[in-house]
């Protein structure tokens, strides 16, 4: 039985992704969690199968899938018990290069990414002192002949040890000289020097990477730039327009992340219902008690409702209709639904929910991240309040 009422949609994609994920079982993910290792084999298999270049146009060797289809890929990864966080950025940051990159940049990078020879896995926006207030970005990119020199610091920059390219947001005009606070920021496609995580390489290149140990065993880092050179030809689009390009890509990101949450949500519900059926206490399955059933049923209803919103948002996106409100709502509802499902699943498992071998505590930690990254729940509420409901602006 498949508890997803929309499992018939894009069934071929679901089947292929599920088959691939079957080779990476719960023991595989637990081992990585234990050893804080990156899922190299899993990401290589997804790359080889072409799923990570799903959104690259066929003209550049990609799969040219719609956003709905791409979202199904990520949903099924998470539904299988795996974690898309190891590689999802390649899908959602691709749009910036696709929409705003020059023909030369696209010819140079996209076919190699589609062939799996180059990885575009890192997106450097967040800074320690500015946090969610992206327009206050301080990292500087100063023009120096035919290159820019980058100086500053980023934090929580994921997958730096497993990428060849990084999209970087940096300030090219001091904030005081900008008319609007969204002006003066630019996007660069940065080639990450091989071995940049080592001290030697950092000294040579001006790029230092320091891993951050964290709740979810998610490969993420502090990144320090010290006059780190980037060729001027790697500026994406027009100088000073970077914030606009980032905002432009956010709807796709929100929808893809919503789909991951939906995958998690169904995984938790399925796990909870199976355990509630098998586990016997007081001579009956615990799931026979409505006190156990109802929270599972409610969480299921919320996952299904969020899933509908995700399809609505993705369809608007694919039809090039305004989708900011729908995409943000989908992300909000899906993240809340997966977190509710995670809590219910853990509670249903009682003490065993805390045991690593059941996987519930790992997925519980992983799905919590969606409340904060890539965008925190409050910031979505703020978007809906101000931009949709036209309530007074708060910042
Ligand atoms: C594991 C992990 C991986 C990440 N990967 C990346 C990455 O690859 N690239 C990248 O650029 N970033 C990444 N991030 C950063 C992530 O996007 C930020 O953590 C997130 O956007 C929140 O920013 P912050 O942590 O600075 O929180 P802050 O901005 O300091 O906010 C803290 C809390 O206050 C709330 N808050 C702040 N201002 C307001 C307000 N005006 N109204 C109401 N509430 C408010 C926020 O919602 C949040 O809950 C990652 C983070 C984590 C934890």
pLDDT tens-digit series, residues 253-286: 999 999 999 999 999 999 999 999 999 999 999 9
Question: Looking at the whole model, is its pTM more than 0.95?
Answer: yes
> Cα separations (Å) of 131 from 101, 135, 379?
26, 10, 12
Is 150 in the same domain as 280?
no
Residue linked to tokens 């791409």: 70
Coil, helix or strand at residue 220: strand
Segment 345-368 shows an average pLDDT of 97
Distance from residue 84's CA to the centre of ligand 1 (Å): 19
Asked if the structure places residue 219 within a domain, the reply is: yes
The per-residue pLDDT for 198 is: 60
Indicate the Cα dihedral angle 187, 189, 194, 195, nearest 10°.
20
- Peptide bond just before 374 cis, omega within 30 deg: yes
Atom of ligand 1 nearest to the CA of 378: 47
Q: Are residues 286 and 348 in contact, defined by beta-carbon separation less than 8 angstroms?
A: yes
Distance from residue 378's CA to the centre of ligand 1 (Å): 10
The per-residue pLDDT for 204 is: 75
Distance from residue 247's CA to the centre of ligand 1 (Å): 16
Query: Residue 210 gets which letter from DSSP?
Result: E
Indicate the Cα dihedral angle 367, 385, 241, 99, nearest 10°.
60
Is 260 in the same domain as 384?
yes
Asked if the structure places residue 4 within a domain, the reply is: no
Is 307 in the same domain as 183?
no
Coil, helix or strand at residue 235: strand
The per-residue pLDDT for 6 is: 96
- Which domain range does residue 378 map to? 244-388
Segment 88-110 shows an average pLDDT of 94
Q: At what angle do helices 360-368 and 26-35 cross, to 10 degrees?
A: 70
Cα gap 381→330, rounded to integer Å:
12
Distance from residue 155's CA to the centre of ligand 1 (Å): 10
Distance from residue 299's CA to the centre of ligand 1 (Å): 26
The per-residue pLDDT for 169 is: 98
What backbone torsions phi and psi does residue 276 show, to the nearest 5 degrees?
Answer: -65, -25
Is 264 in the same domain as 325?
yes
Is 344 in the same domain as 249?
yes
Q: In this structure, what CATH number is given to the domain that contains residue 267?
A: 1.20.140.10
Residue closest via CA to ligand 1's atom 22 equals 132
Is 258 in the same domain as 232?
no
List the one residue out of 97, 79, 81, 101 whose CA is nearest residue 89. 97
Atom of ligand 1 nearest to the CA of 377: 47
**Each residue's pLDDT tens digit, 292-342:** 999 999 999 999 999 999 999 999 999 999 999 999 999 999 999 999 999
Is 260 in the same domain as 358?
yes
Asked if the structure places residue 5 within a domain, the reply is: no
Query: What is the domain count for the chain?
Result: 3
The per-residue pLDDT for 196 is: 59
Is 100 in the same domain as 176?
no
Segment 380-390 shows an average pLDDT of 97
pLDDT-based confidence at 202, cuts 50/70/90?
low
Pocket-forming residues, ligand 1, beta carbon under 6 Å: 123-126, 131-132, 156-158, 214, 216, 218, 220, 369, 372-376, 378-379, 382, 394-395
């Amino acid at each position: 039985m498949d508890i997803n009422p929309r499992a018939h949609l894009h069934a071929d994609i679901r089947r292929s992704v599920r088959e691939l994920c079957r080779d990476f079982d719960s023991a595989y993910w637990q081992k990585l969690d234990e050893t804080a290792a990156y899922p190299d084999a899993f990401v290589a298999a997804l790359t080889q199968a072409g799923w990570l270049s799903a959104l690259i146009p066929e003209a550049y060797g990609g799969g040219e899938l719609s956003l709905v289809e791409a979202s199904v890929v990520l949903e099924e990864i998470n539904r299988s018990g795996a974690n898309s966080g190891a590689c999802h950025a390649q899908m959602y940051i691709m749009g910036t290069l696709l929409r705003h990159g020059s023909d030369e940049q696209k010819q140079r990078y996209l076919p190699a990414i589609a062939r799996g020879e180059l990885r575009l896995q890192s997106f450097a926006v967040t800074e320690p002192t500015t946090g969610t207030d992206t327009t206050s970005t301080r990292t500087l990119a100063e023009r120096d002949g035919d290159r820019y020199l980058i100086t500053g610091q980023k934090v929580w920059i994921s997958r730096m040890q497993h990428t060849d390219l990084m999209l970087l947001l940096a300030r090219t005009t001091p904030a005081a000289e900008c008319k609007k606070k969204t002006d003066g920021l630019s996007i660069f496609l940065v080639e990450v020097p091989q071995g940049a995580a080592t001290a030697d390489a950092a000294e040579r290149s001006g790029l230092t990477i320091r891993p951050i140990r964290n709740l979810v065993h998610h490969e993420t880092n502090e990144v320090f730039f010290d006059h780190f050179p980037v060729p001027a030809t790697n500026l994406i689009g027009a100088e000073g327009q970077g914030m606009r390009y980032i905002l432009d890509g956010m709807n796709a990101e929100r929808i893809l992340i919503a789909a991951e949450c939906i995958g998690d949500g169904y995984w938790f519900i399925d796990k909870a219902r199976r355990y509630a059926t098998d586990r016997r206490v007081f001579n009956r399955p615990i799931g026979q008690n409505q006190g156990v059933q109802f929270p599972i049923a409610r969480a299921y209803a919320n996952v299904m409702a969020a899933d509908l919103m995700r399809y609505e948002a993705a369809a608007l996106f694919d039809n090039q209709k305004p989708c900011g409100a729908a995409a943000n709502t989908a992300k909000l509802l899906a993240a809340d639904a997966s977190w509710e499902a995670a809590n219910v699943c853990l509670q249903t498992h009682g003490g065993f929910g805390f045991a690593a071998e059941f996987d519930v505590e790992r997925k519980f930690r992983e799905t919590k991240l969606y409340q904060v990254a890539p965008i925190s729940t409050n910031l979505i509420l703020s978007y809906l309040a101000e931009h949709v409901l036209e309530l007074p602006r708060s910042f």
